[in-house]
Amino acid sequence: MKSQKKLPDIFDMKEACWYEEIYVVQKPTKKGKGADVTLYIDYKGKSKVEGKGDIFKQNSIELEDKIQEAYIYAYKRFILRQ
């Protein structure tokens, strides 16, 4: 049975993504201050991986958790190729 390697911590995953020009971007749902946001992954400025369309309040714990989850996903998909 093949054992899975332990992933690095979230800060190292983010740095690896940034080095490879992979970013999690917040997109406002409307114009104006404090507008809710959706997320997408910008892959090297060439393509976007859209999220499920979930909407988050700016500066919320849920948004921060989802951003971390998106970086973990991006790290696994684009860097580890899983």
Mean pLDDT, the chain, whole residue set? 92
**Is pLDDT at 4 greater than 80 in this prediction?**
no
**Is pLDDT at 34 greater than 90 in this prediction?**
no
Average pLDDT over residues 51-71: 94
Closest CA to 45 of 71, 25, 75: 25
Give 6-16 pLDDT, tens digit per residue: 888 999 999 99
**Is pLDDT at 67 greater than 90 in this prediction?**
yes
Q: Where are the alpha helices (DSSP H) in 1-82?
A: 10-19, 61-74
Average pLDDT over residues 2-9: 72
The pTM for the full model equals 0.87
Q: CA of 7: how far to CAs of 11, 38, 72, in Å?
A: 11, 26, 9
Per-residue confidence (pLDDT) for residue 2, from 0 to 100: 52
